[in-house]
Structure 1
Amino acid sequence: MGQMDSMRYLLPIVLALFTSLRCSAADALTRREWKVDGVTREALVYVPPNAKSTATPVIFAFHGHGGTMAYAERKFSYHTLWPEALVVYPQGLPTAGKLTDPAGRRAGWQFAAGDYGDRDLKFFDAMLMSLRQEYHVDNKRIFVTGHSNGGGFTYLLWANRGDQIAAVAPCCAAALNLFGQLKPKPVLHLAGEKDPLVRFAWQETTIDAVRKINQCGDGRPWAEHCTLYPSKIGDPVVAYIHPGFHELPEEAPAVIVKFFKEQGPH
C-alpha cells in the first residue's frame, strides 16, 4: 500500500475518532442551578472525567445580549476544543441594553459594578465557589471569555474579580470606563473592523489601554489576524483583529483556547 493510499485509508478513521470525541464531550453537558439572592440562576456545564482527582482548568463563557447558554455552547464549543477543561456556559437574565433592547426584554449581563444589585458578579462567585467545592479546580488556570455584552462583562469581571482569574478573552466589547480598575493580566481581545454595534475605534482604544496596563512592547504575528504584544511583566496581549462585523469568526474559539493554554503553569 502506497503512502497516498494509506492516507486515504486513515483519514476517515481519524475524522470518525475526532467526531466521536466531540460528541462525547457534548453529551456530557449538564444543566446546573444556583440560588443567588433568591433568584434561580442556571448554566450548562461540562465536567471532564478526572475533574475530581486532577487539577482542572476552568473556562467561563458568557453569551451576548439576547443570547442563551445553549446558543453559547453550540457557537463556542470550548468543551470540545479543550475536553480536559471544565467549561461553564452561564445564562443571563433580562437586561436593558445600552445599544439595543432598551426595554430589557432579552437576556444579558450587568454593565457596571452596582447594576442590578451586582446580580451577575454574585452569580460568578456562586458558580466558582461550588465548582471549587465539588472538583479539583486549578486556581491558577481560571479563564473568562464572552461575546459582545458578555465580552463587556468579561472586562467587568477582570476589574472586580481579577484576583480569581488567570486570563481573559473579551470579544466585540470595550472597557472605556474601566481602565483605572484593571490590573495587569493576560488578555486576548477580538474585534471586527466593521463592527456596527461596538465601534472599532472604541475597541482600538481599549486594546491600546490594555497594552499600556500590561507594559507591552512591539507586536509580532501570533496566529491569523492576531498580533501578540509581549509583556515585560509576563502579561501578554493578543489583538485579534478580523475584517468582519460583530460576529466571531468560525476559527475564533480554537484561537482563544490556544491563548488560554499558553497562560498559567503548564
Structure 2
Amino acid sequence: MFSFKTKKNNLIQKKTTNFLFIFGFFIGGIAQQTINSTLEHDGITREYILYVPASYSNGSSAPLVFNFHGYTSNANDQMFYGDFRPIADTEGFLIVHPMGTVDNSGNTHFNVGWGTSTIDDVGFTEALIDEISSNYTIDASRIYSTGMSNGGFMSYKLACELSERIAAIASVTGTMNKNQPNTCNPSHQIPVMEIHGTSDTTVPYEGANWIESTPDVMSFWANFNNCETSAEITNLPDSAPNDGSTVEYQVFKNGDNGARVEHYKINNGGHKWPGSNFNSSGTNYDIDASALIWDFFSKYDINGQITTLSIDEVNGDNRTLRIHPNPVGSIITVDFKVQEPLDYSIFTIEGKLTSKGTISITNNTIDVSHLVSSTIYFLNIGDTSIKIQKK
C-alpha cells in the first residue's frame, strides 16, 4: 500500500496525550486548524487528525468527511496524499483522518476482517462522530467516508455496518471482502463511488480468492440501491497522455431516493490515488479523485439525493440553496449562502397556505411536523417553488 514518510509523522507517533497543533493561516480573522488529538476507545488510545477549514462557522452545520489511510500508511500521510483540504476550504466541510492501529505483523491497519485483528474500528468511527459532533456543529445527515486501499475497504464496511450514520461512501483502490455482500444489508440506500485501476496488483481489479472483483461490487450496490441494471459508459478525454492510462466512467442511475453508483475505471492504472500531488508510476492525471469524490458526496445526505435549485432572483446572483431531506420528516434544512433573510411559504397542491415564515443562514430550518404524511406540498422560497413530499 502506498506510504510516504514525513517528519510530521512524529506528531502522531510520539503523541501520548490530547493536544492541539494549530496552523494559523488566517483568513478574515478565522484560522484554519489542523488538530492532532486522541480518543479513548475500548481501552485503547486512538489517534486522529481533524482539519477545520477557515470557512467553518459554529452558526451553521457542516458536513464531515472521513478520510481513511491505507495498510501500512498513517493519518498524516493520507491527509497529504488523498488531499481534500483545498476543497474543504471553499466548500466548508470538516475532514477527519483516523489513525489505524498496529496489527500482529507490525503494520498500521483498519480492521476490515483480515487476519486475526480484533480492533473495533466501526465502533471507533462512531465514537469519533460523537466526539467531533460534541465540539463542532456537524450536519448529522451529511457524514461521508472515503479512503485509500484498506481505507476503501473500511468505507465499504461502514456502509454495511454503520449505515445509520453514513450518507455515502467512495473508495479508491479498495473493494469488498469475499462474500461480504452476502451479509451486507444497510438501513438505507448508499450512494457508492469506486475509483480503481485495472493494473492494480495490490487489490486486483478482477478480484482474488479473498476479495470481490470491482465489477461485482458495483453490480451489488447498483442492485441494492435499485438502480438501472446497466451502466451508462463514457470514455473520458485523455487530458494527460503521458501518464500511461485512460479513464472509463460508468454510472448506474435512478436508484432509490436518487442514489447512484459511479465507477471510474482507470485503464492501465495502478494502486494509486488519481490526481495526487505525489506523482509516481501508475498514477492517473486525467481525473482528480478528491474533487470527484467531494462533488459526488455533495449531492447526497443520509435520506438520498439533495434537492438543489437555483435562486437567481436573490440579489441577481446565481446562488444555490439545498433543501434536505426530501421526502421530509419533521424538519426541513435549507442550506444557502445569501446573507439576507428569505421568506418562505408552504402550500398544498390545491393552493391552500399551510405555513409561512423567514429563514436565514443562522436559522435555516423549517418545522413541517404539521404536514400530512404521504402528501405533496409546494415550498416557495422567494420566487422559486419546489415540490416536497411528507414521509
Q: For 1:60-139, list aligned pairs within 5 A.
A: 60-83=66-89, 84-95=92-103, 103-112=104-113, 116-139=117-140
- Aligned pair partner of 1:207 in 210, 215, 218: 218
Give the TM-score, by structure 1 length.
0.82
d(CA) in 1 for partners of 2:83, 2:59: 24
* Aligned counterpart, 2:273: 248
Greater radius of gyration (CA): 2
Q: Does 1:38 align with 2:40?
A: no
2:162 aligned counterpart, secondary structure? helix
Which residue identity lines up with residue 99 of structure 2 in the other structure? Q
Which residue identity lines up with residue 239 of structure 1 in the other structure? H
d(CA) in 2 for partners of 1:123, 1:190: 25
Q: Determine if contact 1:26/1:80 at 8 Å carries over to the other structure.
A: no
* Aligned counterpart, 2:141: 140
Give the TM-score, by structure 2 length.
0.57
Tell me by how many angstroms 1:51 deviates.
Answer: 4.2
d(CA) in 1 for partners of 2:108, 2:263: 28
After superposition, the Cα gap between the structure-2 partners of 1:135 and 1:237, relative to the gap in structure 1 and judged at 3 Å, is same
d(CA) in 2 for partners of 1:236, 1:46: 28
Offset from partner CA, 1:120-152 (integer Å, 9 cap, x none):
112112110111111111111100001111111
* Aligned counterpart, 2:231: 219
Unaligned segments of structure 2, at least 5 residues: 1-24, 207-212, 237-246, 276-287, 307-321, 323-391
After superposition, the Cα gap between the structure-2 partners of 1:260 and 1:26, relative to the gap in structure 1 and judged at 3 Å, is farther
Name the stretch that deviates more: 140-149 or 49-58: 49-58
Q: Determine if contact 2:53/2:88 at 8 Å carries over to the other structure.
A: no
Tell me by how many angstroms 1:231 deviates.
Answer: 2.6
2:216 aligned counterpart, secondary structure? helix
d(CA) in 1 for partners of 2:138, 2:235: 29
Q: Does 1:229 align with 2:252?
A: yes
After superposition, the Cα gap between the structure-2 partners of 1:168 and 1:26, relative to the gap in structure 1 and judged at 3 Å, is farther
d(CA) in 2 for partners of 1:257, 1:195: 23
d(CA) in 1 for partners of 2:185, 2:78: 26
Tell me by how many angstroms 1:52 deviates.
Answer: 2.3
* Aligned counterpart, 2:34: 29
Tell me by how many angstroms 1:119 deviates.
Answer: 2.4
Which residue identity lines up with residue 232 of structure 2 in the other structure? R
Q: Does 1:57 align with 2:63?
A: yes
Q: Determine if contact 1:231/1:237 at 8 Å carries over to the other structure.
A: no
d(CA) in 1 for partners of 2:59, 2:123: 27
d(CA) in 1 for partners of 2:293, 2:133: 23
Identity of aligned residues (%): 24
After superposition, the Cα gap between the structure-2 partners of 1:25 and 1:239, relative to the gap in structure 1 and judged at 3 Å, is farther
Tell me by how many angstroms 1:112 deviates.
Answer: 2.6
2:112 aligned counterpart, secondary structure? coil
1:162 aligned counterpart, secondary structure? coil
Q: Determine if contact 1:92/1:109 at 8 Å carries over to the other structure.
A: yes
Name the stretch that deviates more: 70-79 or 117-126: 117-126
Q: Determine if contact 1:141/1:166 at 8 Å carries over to the other structure.
A: yes
1:151 aligned counterpart, secondary structure? helix
Offset from partner CA, 1:159-197 (integer Å, 9 cap, x none):
110110000001212213321314331010111111102
After superposition, the Cα gap between the structure-2 partners of 1:188 and 1:33, relative to the gap in structure 1 and judged at 3 Å, is same
1:29 aligned counterpart, secondary structure? strand
d(CA) in 2 for partners of 1:190, 1:25: 35
After superposition, the Cα gap between the structure-2 partners of 1:87 and 1:200, relative to the gap in structure 1 and judged at 3 Å, is same
Q: Determine if contact 1:25/1:46 at 8 Å carries over to the other structure.
A: no
d(CA) in 1 for partners of 2:93, 2:35: 15
Tell me by how many angstroms 1:118 deviates.
Answer: 4.1
Q: Determine if contact 1:51/1:137 at 8 Å carries over to the other structure.
A: no
Tell me by how many angstroms 1:221 deviates.
Answer: 5.4
- Paired positions, count: 239
Which residue identity lines up with residue 175 of structure 2 in the other structure? A
Name the stretch that deviates more: 234-243 or 44-53: 44-53
d(CA) in 1 for partners of 2:59, 2:235: 34
d(CA) in 2 for partners of 1:26, 1:114: 42
* Aligned counterpart, 1:48: 53
* Bigger relative CO (Cα 8 Å, ≥ 6 apart): 1
Q: Does 1:190 align with 2:195?
A: yes
* Aligned counterpart, 1:261: 298
